[in-house]
Amino acid sequence: MFGFPRKKQPATLSAPQAFQPNVAVKEAVARHNDQPTDKKILRSLYRSLGQGFLMVAVDRPPPVDSSGMVEHDAPIKMLSSSSPAGGLALLAFTDPAEALKRVGPRPDVGVIALASQDVLKHALKSNNDGVVINAAGPWAYVPRSVLTQILAGQYA
């Protein structure tokens, strides 16, 4: 798990050197926005969500060590928003720029990177309706039922 140190008024969000933006998910989201009814593109998006890392916005950034890593068992409250289904959806981002577009530079909000599968598991465990990827757009909503299928390897 990777963390981001708190700054009182950050101008940008930066990622640790080990973090690689999830280009596959970002591109799949963009293609899905262009052709929302194309099932092949949707399957490609779901397949890409099972790999790499995603970033999540967190309320009150968790403590980090001197290398910027989140402390192991640190309590983390991930931010959510209204889902298209009417409940809550976990917000996830493919890279720091996408997170900044939605969250902005706020001292009370941090951004951390997690394995994509851990983000999906957390969304299920937290009883979210699904996950919104890159909420500032182009964006995609992945419903709870699909999160379960992705984690079960149905799109691998």
- Residue-level pLDDT at 21: 86
Q: Is residue 13 part of a domain?
A: no
For 70-89, what is the mean pLDDT? 81
Q: Can you give the pLDDT at residue 10?
A: 33
β-pair type (80-82, 109-115): unpaired
CA–CA separation, 123 and 93 (whole Å): 14
Establish if 140 belongs to a structural domain.
yes
Which one is predicted more confidently, 104 or 129? 129
What's the CA gap between 24 and 51, in Å, rounded? 9
Work out how many domains the chain is built from and give that number: 1
- 7 belongs to a structural domain: no
Residues 41-69 pLDDT 10s? 999 999 999 998 999 988 876 666 676 66
Query: Is 16 part of any domain?
Result: no
